[in-house]
Amino acid sequence: MEQKQIHIVGHKNPDTDSICSALAYSYLKNIENPGQYVANRAGSISNETRFVLDYFNVQEPELLEDVNVQIRDIDFRRTKGVRDKISLRAAWKLMLAEDVVTLPIIYKDNKLKGLITINDIAKSYMDEYDNTILGLAKTPIVNLVEVLDGTLVCGDPDFHIESGKILIGAANVEIVEACVEEDDIVLVVDREDTQREAIKLGASCLIVCLNAKLSQEIKDLANEYKCNIITTYLDTYSAARIINQSIPIRYFMRSSNLVAFHLDDTLESVKDVMSKLRHRDFPIIDDIGNYCGMVSRRNLLAMRKKQVILVDHNERTQAVNGIENAEILEIIDHHRIGSIETINPVYFRNQPVGCTGTILYQMYQERGITPPKDMAGLMCSAILSDTLMFRSPTCTPMDKEAATAMAKIAGIDIESYAMDMFAAGSDLVDKTPYEILYQDFKSFDVEDITFGVAQISSMNKQELSDLAVIMDDYLKESYTTTKCDMLFFVMTNIIEEGSTILCYGDDSIKLIQDAFSVEMQDNICYLPKVVSRKKQIVPNLVEMLQQWDS
């Protein structure tokens, strides 16, 4: 079984800390377990984060849209596909050897062509077919040789039977003359006159039973008339009884209306389909149609949940979709303890610092590992972003210490680099209102209330002023699609160290006024010295909601 990857992922609508922490932690974990840990993102990256990744030449993490159990997480059977020309007998033997009841049939390029089941084979024995069935099925001569356990003495191994009937040439020559026609398959024993006459009458294949000896004259005659000759140890009755087993499986396979699952299909969707169909097995294909294996209801019992490590969050509403169906191994965070629940105990590291990157810096130190330049640059960038270059009230001496140490390794000047990073992040000209709202959006649950807080930062005062007009209208438009009772949009001026807040939703204005002791003009107000969503905005809103509830 291939090594199972462990996903390290931050929250939806990831900020710089979320992306950089996932990358830095995956690097640290892979030192001891190379290749096992992979950094992911749960949403699109911001301009600020892209600037950081480009600056340190680090590849953007792959998008992880959900962590629900998928077909690829199940120990499904890797039953090999077969070609459609193999005989019924060969298919039967393979089913017995593999202990399966369904065989997948594939093209040369490994694309799925059809299926044949043990019931299909049984039906082929029980149904009555006339003596032209081998021709109708375009049976390869090699299938006859295989089923009869015989030897092709004369003829073309690539020959296919395309017409003619099956006859037993045990009678006298006169009867053979009356019955045998061109392209027939004739079963004979040692009567040379019967053999000769059948060949001259145009038989396409002579099956000589009981391993009867053939004269050179008969062999030469067969070559002259292009007649295939097979010898077998079987008697004529036994040979006639099993000859239909040589029919290629394509004649009985099912190739239309096939139900196949994809590797990315979720367990729930697979169960739903299986509950409506009584098939024993279903084929699995990848995203370009290549056949991968077979799955049955029994295989679903052996599912393996995706294993994840969460960084920079521990709120269920912020986590990647399907988190309730994944196995959480670790949580590394610096926010309030939220609503994530786990079945088993996990490693949970939560510290009151300004950034997850600071915690990772400590973890590198604890393991005696000096991060390379790019990882140090990522962790420093995360700290500068989350603490607004040490301006945020969330910033601690540990954050400053970590950022300073990482900046030295990364070879950057903190102030000039941070200004460039913030400038890249505050360039909102080409972004749509949707992209701006969800660039850094988080939702929170308090009692029976869900509220969402989006935050953007900029060093351009005029840009923020213009944006307030645009986003005021957009909040009202998007309110019904967010599934939140209240929406708050925070525009933080990095230079002035203050924030303008827009809100929408029942009681949202009252909540801001009560939580911050301000008067709102319509649905907007300015909060000086308020820059941190984590430490200043969300805690005030949560506390006030709890007071309302009590």
Is the same domain home to 369 and 508? no
Domain assignment of residue 357, yes or no = yes
Range of the domain at 105: 73-125+251-300
Asked if 445 and 545 touch (Cβ cutoff 8 Å), the reply is no
Whether 46 shows a pLDDT value over 60: the answer reads yes
Whether 444 shows a pLDDT value over 60: the answer reads yes
Domain assignment of residue 374, yes or no = yes
Domain assignment of residue 455, yes or no = yes
Q: Read out DSSP for 244-304? A: GGGSBGGGT-B-SS---EETT-BHHHHHHHHHH---S-EEEE-TT-BEEEEE-HHHHTTB-
- Identify the band that residue 1 occupies on the pLDDT scale cut at 50, 70 and 90: very low
- Identify the band that residue 51 occupies on the pLDDT scale cut at 50, 70 and 90: very high
Domain assignment of residue 133, yes or no = no
- Whole-number percent of the chain with pLDDT over 90: 69
Residue found under tokens 């039967």: 92
Is the same domain home to 311 and 419? yes
Asked if 311 and 356 touch (Cβ cutoff 8 Å), the reply is yes
Last residue of a domain, one of 381, 401, 425: 425
Last residue of a domain, one of 406, 425, 444: 425
Is the same domain home to 284 and 352? no
Domain assignment of residue 130, yes or no = no
Residue 204 DSSP SS3: coil
Is the same domain home to 410 and 464? no
Domain assignment of residue 116, yes or no = yes
Is the same domain home to 411 and 310? yes
Last residue of a domain, one of 223, 246, 269: 246
**Count of structural domains within the chain:** 4
Is the same domain home to 294 and 319? no
- Identify the band that residue 277 occupies on the pLDDT scale cut at 50, 70 and 90: confident
Domain assignment of residue 408, yes or no = yes
pTM of the predicted protein model: 0.69
Whether 317 shows a pLDDT value over 50: the answer reads yes
Asked if 347 and 330 touch (Cβ cutoff 8 Å), the reply is yes
Look up the CATH number of the domain holding residue 200: 3.40.1390.20
Range 229-236 average pLDDT: 95
Look up the CATH number of the domain holding residue 115: 3.10.580.10
Look up the CATH number of the domain holding residue 330: 3.90.1640.10
Is the same domain home to 420 and 365? yes
Is the same domain home to 153 and 120? no
Residue 3 has what pLDDT? 63
Is the same domain home to 102 and 154? no
Whether 346 shows a pLDDT value over 60: the answer reads yes
Look up the CATH number of the domain holding residue 482: 3.10.310.20
Closest by CA position to 367, among listed 22, 6, 14, 31: 31
Whether 27 shows a pLDDT value over 90: the answer reads yes
Asked if 162 and 247 touch (Cβ cutoff 8 Å), the reply is no
Closest by CA position to 25, among listed 339, 518, 360, 476: 360
Q: How far is CA 89 from the centre of its chain?
A: 36
